[in-house]
């Protein structure tokens, strides 16, 4: 694991989730797996797809980091990047402990902190504006922890942050978007699972 | 009913690469024997819903996971099972400790005995109840049959105390 690297910026303003995802899309390596869920999944699907994208829709809410842990352990020579919602992260906080315990050095968990359950109509998540996700990750044992509220800083650091040995945790303060539909499944999940496994084999 | 060594050897024979687990007082005793096997990695998680999701990721990544939990944990795993097994169609396999089946000294009237089997049926998981040592070979046989058929399955392993 790397030494503690923490980048704190003001949390009063947030970036656009779409811009933040576009930065991940530009920075991910060709062999990297990217798992997206909730509104990050919706906005990720606006970007050009790759066979190593796992759009976790339908999901078991909260499960994306755990799915990422399994993939990271099975595919130690690939990086696995998980783009998660804050409500989903709250539903599976223990996964942060499991990830550190399993020493999944190739796993990056990015939480899009919008303070709301955007998909279900932007109700506030418990602890909105109070919970410090980077601190939670640090307390769970993550040593590579980053927090950003500025898209410029995220863009300039993203390649380095996701490329460093992990497990890595990133908290992104993003602006909530109201009144947009949630993510739609991009096709039958069984068929997508089969194709995804083929892509990993290739 | 079975030693950790016996179970660990069986899991290795079955090609299990990762055992994803939350312990109870029976299956928890197997951990050190499983950890001693080079071919099988023990993955400790914080709750059982997580175990199915980690197993799902392992399976998608080409590994051969096994979920090792107590029946109480099965009862808290519903949405994860629904998604992994029925949405994504992953043929995950589990060994599930059946609390209080052999005796109810610790928890008289344990409601696990009422809800465990109907829950496995509800999730359409093909399970075999193993309640005596002579049934040991049924564990491997059922795992192999489910593997060949590409379907999810479970062993419900009778336990005494909690
Ligand atoms: C177990 C479970 N409980 C509740 C829901 C309903 N639900 C669907 S999306 C969602 C909100 C997700 O919020 P978050 O993870 O913060 O992502 P965002 O919508 O803000 O992108 C909820 C509560 C669900 N799908 N599963």
Cross-chain Cβ contact A193/B90 below 8 Å: yes
> Tens of pLDDT along chain B (162 residues)?
999 999 999 999 999 999 999 999 999 999 999 999 999 999 999 999 999 999 999 999 999 999 999 999 999 999 999 999 999 999 999 999 999 999 999 999 999 999 999 999 999 999 999 999 999 999 999 999 999 999 999 999 999 876
Confirm whether the ipTM is greater than 0.85: yes
**Does A79 map to a domain?**
yes
Contacts of A173 (CB under 8 A, 6+ apart): A11, A13, A14, A15, A113, A147, A148, A149
Task: Indicate which residue's Cα is closest to atom 13 of ligand 1.
Answer: A117
Q: How many domains does chain A have?
A: 1
> Is the pLDDT at A3 greater than 80, yes or no?
no
B20 strand-pairing partners: B43, B67
Among A92, A101, A200, whose Cβ lies nearest the Cβ of B61?
Answer: A200
More confidently predicted of A11 and B14 = B14
Q: What is the CATH number of the domain that holds A71?
A: 3.40.50.970
This prediction has a pTM of 0.96
Report pLDDT digits (tens) over A48-77. 999 999 999 999 999 999 999 999 999 999
Residue ranges of domains in chain B: 4-158
pLDDT score of A10: 33
Instruction: Say whether A200 and B60 touch across the interface (CB within 8 A).
Output: yes
Residue A2 has pLDDT above 60, yes or no: no
pLDDT at B145: 97
Task: Give, in words, the CATH class of B4-158.
Answer: alpha beta
pLDDT band at A202 (very low <50, low <70, confident <90, very high): confident
Domain range for A150 is 17-201
Find the farthest-apart pair of alpha carbons in chain B and give their distance in angstroms, rounded.
Answer: 43
**Per-residue model confidence (pLDDT) at position A100:** 98
Nearest CA in chain A to B50: A66
Contacts 24+ apart (CB under 8 A), A39-42: A39/A85, A39/A112, A39/A114, A39/A118, A39/A119, A39/A177, A39/A180, A39/A182, A39/A183, A40/A83, A40/A84, A40/A85, A40/A110, A40/A112, A41/A83, A41/A183, A42/A180, A42/A181, A42/A182, A42/A183, A42/A184
Picking from A173, A86, A170, A70, the residue whose alpha carbon sits closest to that of residue B92 is A70
Q: Is the pLDDT of residue A125 over 70?
A: yes
Contact of A72 with chain B, judged by CB distance below 8 Å, is answered with yes
pLDDT of residue B161: 72
Whole-number average pLDDT of chain A: 94
Nearest to A58 among B44, B49, B87 (CB): B87
CB B47 within 8 A of CB A60: no
Q: For residue A4, what pLDDT is reported?
A: 41
For ligand 1, atom 9: residue with the closest CA: A119
């Amino acid at each position: 694991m790397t030494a503690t690297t923490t980048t704190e910026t003001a949390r009063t303003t947030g970036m656009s989730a779409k811009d933040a995802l576009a930065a991940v899309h530009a920075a991910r390596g060709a062999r990297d797996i990217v798992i997206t869920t909730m509104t990050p999944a919706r906005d990720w699907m606006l970007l050009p797809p790759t066979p190593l994208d796992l759009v976790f829709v339908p999901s078991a809410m909260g499960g994306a980091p755990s799915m990422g842990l399994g993939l990271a352990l099975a595919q130690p020579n690939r990086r696995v990047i998980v783009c998660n919602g804050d409500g989903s992260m709250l539903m599976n906080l223990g996964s942060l402990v499991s990830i550190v315990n399993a020493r999944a050095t190739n796993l990056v968990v990015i939480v899009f902190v919008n303070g709301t359950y955007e998909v279900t109509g932007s109700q506030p998540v418990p602890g909105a504006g109070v919970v410090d996700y980077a601190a939670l990750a640090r307390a769970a044992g993550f040593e590579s922890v980053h927090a950003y509220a500025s898209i410029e800083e995220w863009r300039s650091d993203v390649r380095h942050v996701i490329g460093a040995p992990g497990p890595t945790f990133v908290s992104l303060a993003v602006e909530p978007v109201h009144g947009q539909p949630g993510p739609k499944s991009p096709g039958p999940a069984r068929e997508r699972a089969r194709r995804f496994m083929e892509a990993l084999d290739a | 009913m079975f030693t950790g060594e016996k179970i660990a050897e069986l899991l290795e024979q079955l090609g299990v690469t990762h055992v994803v687990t939350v312990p109870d007082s029976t299956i928890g005793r197997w951990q050190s024997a499983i950890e001693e096997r080079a071919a099988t990695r023990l993955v400790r998680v914080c709750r059982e819903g997580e175990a199915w999701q980690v197993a799902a990721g392992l399976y998608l990544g080409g590994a051969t996971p096994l979920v090792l939990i107590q029946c109480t944990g099965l009862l808290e795993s519903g949405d994860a099972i629904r998604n992994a097994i029925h949405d994504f169609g992953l043929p995950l396999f589990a060994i599930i400790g059946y609390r209080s089946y052999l005796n109810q000294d610790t928890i008289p009237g344990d409601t696990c005995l009422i809800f465990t089997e109907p829950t496995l049926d509800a999730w359409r998981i093909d399970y075999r109840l193993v309640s005596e040592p002579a049934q040991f070979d049924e564990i491997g046989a059922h795992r192999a049959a489910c593997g060949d058929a590409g379907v999810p399955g479970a062993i419900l392993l009778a336990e005494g105390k909690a």
